[in-house]
Every structure is written in structure tokens, then in C-alpha cells.
Amino acid sequence: MSHELTSEQQGLVDTVRDFADSVVAPAAYEYDTRRELPYAILAQMGEMGLFGLPFPREYGGQGKDYFQLCLAVEQLARVDQSIAVTLEAGVGLGAMPVWRGGTQAQKEEWLPMLAQGRALAAFGLTEADAGSDAAGTRTTARLEDGQWVIDGSKQFITNSGTRITRLITVTAVTGETTRVDGTVKKELTAFLVPSGTPGLTVGPAYDKVGWHTSDTHPLSLDDVRVPEANMLGVRGRGFANFIQTLDEGRVAFAALCTGAAQGCLEEAVRYARKRTVFGRTIGENQHIAFKIARMQARVHAARLAYYDAAHRIVAGKPFKMQASLAKLIGSEAAMDNARDATQVFGGYGFLNQNPVARHYRDAKVLEIGEGTTEVQLMVIARELGF
């Protein structure tokens, strides 16, 4: 398999890289300090077509594929993980469930605004007792007079409280069956809940260690009523559909991890070439040079891993294990490179205005979000037959 980019793909990389360096990077520290989502930058990303990369033109998309979305996410993550995850979650977790499982009417209503970046959608799966263990879901939905009535709560929901958030996809228990052994199996179904629906409350934003620009909130649903037509996909298939969404999302998330690792590498190389100590640059010291060489090795492995997984998605091949491998390798590469880059910078790496300091704070969540490291190991082990 060749991982050489086509001229079209390379053109996308170059365009997004230039945008990241000239527009996103100069504003990153200011917005991170103010903990604000830069709507003007998101609007520019919408005009560039980034939110519509994997969707058909008939729905306002660019008619590209999932791999090209990953390429764009990687370039943004080099300079600002918060902006990258806003795109990754908005497309991979927010809009993709509508594209994959929505009816024609649902696609026509929601996809154009999402694909053009005029609106954001969120992915409401995680609860206090139900993250990787989706069977622990306690949010319920019952059908009553032609409406679904939803009650429960969600937490750690990205893009759920922005001023352009228009839709939240929510999973809820719609029934239970008792197995022969006496255990109970929950029937999970997904629903489209428009922002502003009575009973839907977006809680205060979390005070996070990193990803300060990314929008993340808890949600509560109290007697939330949506039309019967707002059910997404087939009743009882919510868990299966969301697993597919998570598997795909992990590949784009792995691209984000790779971009973060690459950003740390670039900063470390730049600094090691110019910082002079005891009459020579620190990069002339073998210890520093070898540290940076290991950073390059991690980036290379992470990029190959997500390229492989993304190509499998595009080709319609099984990719579950490859998605978990990419997410595992990428998140560890980002965390290790953030630590090493901060060490290369010394005291300067401990200043928040330094990009490596922001990467150091941001990178830890990469080993947690969209399935922890332990969950990825569990998936890989299961795919190996254990």
C-alpha cells in the first residue's frame, strides 16, 4: 500500500497548513487564555469547506472522503488542538451520524448547515456511569402521543454549548429484555435533539486542564419532547450505530494526535537549532539530538497508523483494530512528544505562551478522549481473539 499523497491531497495539506500557520497559530494563545471559541476562525474554516470535506456536494459538502478530513485535522492540530477537535468532533461525531444513519428528510434538514460550517452538532453519548461502557446508559426515552420523551443527563459533550450549536444526537434506553441467564439487555436508540428544545439544559462549561478553546459542557434532559420522526436510524440500533461512529472518530482523533506530535517536533527542532549554550547550539548535543530523533520516529509511526486506518475506511474494509491501533499509537506519541519538547525548551517550555506548553496541557486528554488507552488495548486484544 502506498501512502504517498495525490496532488489533490497534498494541495489540501498545503492549504490547511498555511491557514493554520498564518491564521490559527497567531491567535491561539489569546483565545486559550480567554477560554473562548474563535468564531471568526471557524467561519473561515467553513468558507474553506473543511466542515464538509467527507459529505456529498448535494448536501453542501465537498465530495471528498474521510482521509482528507483526517489530513485537515492533522494540520490544524499542529498549532492548536482545540481548533482541531472542534472540526474533528463537529464532523466525525456531530454530522457523520446524520449522514450515516439519517433519513433523507433528516439529511436535507441538517447536513447543509453542518457541512458548510454554519452550525455545529454534538454527540451525546457519555454519562456519569456510561462512557466506554455504553450499556450503563441511564437516559431514557419513551414514545408518547407521537413524540419521544427523553429524560436523563450527559457529560463531557464537545461542541454542545456554542452559539452556533444547532443539534445534539442523544442515545437513550428505549426498552429492556431479560436474557435466559437472567441478565438485562438494554435497547439503545439515538435521537436528534435540536438546540433550544424545552427541557434541554446546557450546563456551565467545564474548567479543564487543557483544550481551553474547545467547547465542552454537561447536559440535562428533563421531559424533552421531540417528534417521532427525530429518531435516528432503527430503534434498538443506537449502540451499534454509535460504535461505528466512535470507530471512525478514533481515526480522525488519531490524526489530531499525530498533528500534535508533529507540532511538538517542529517546535523542538526549531529551538534546538537556535538555542546556544556553552558556545554551541543545544541540538549539537547528542542527548538532545537523540531525543528529537525519537520524537520524529513517533510522528512517523503515528502517521502511518492513521493513514492505514483511514484508507481502510475509504476502501470499505474492516478497520476496527486499525482505528484503535492508530488512536493508541497517536495519543502516546503526542503525550511523549509534548513532554520531550517541553524538556528541550527548559524553563521557556513552562511558559503558557509557548506552544509546547499548551501541547503539554492539551495532550493528556488524547489518552482519555474517544476511548481511553485501556479501552484501545481491550479492543485490540478482542480483535486478536482474546
> Could you list the active site residues?
370
d(CA 326, CA 320): 10
DSSP string, 277-301: ETTEEGGGSHHHHHHHHHHHHHHHH
φ, ψ of residue 191 to 5 degrees: the values are -135, 145
DSSP string, 47-91: HTTGGGTTS-GGGT--S--HHHHHHHHHHHHTT-HHHHHHHHIII
Pairing of strands 184-194, 216-227: unpaired
CA–CA–CA angle 319, 324, 327 (5° rounding): 120
Pairing of strands 165-178, 120-124: parallel
DSSP string, 146-212: TEEEEEEEEEEEETSSSTTEEEEEEEEEEEEEE-TTS-EEEEEEEEEEETT-TTEEEPPPP--SS-T
φ, ψ of residue 129 to 5 degrees: the values are -115, 15
Contact 216, 154 (CB under 8 A): no
Cell of 239: 449502540
d(CA 89, CA 252): 9
* 176 residue type, one letter: E
Contact 273, 293 (CB under 8 A): no
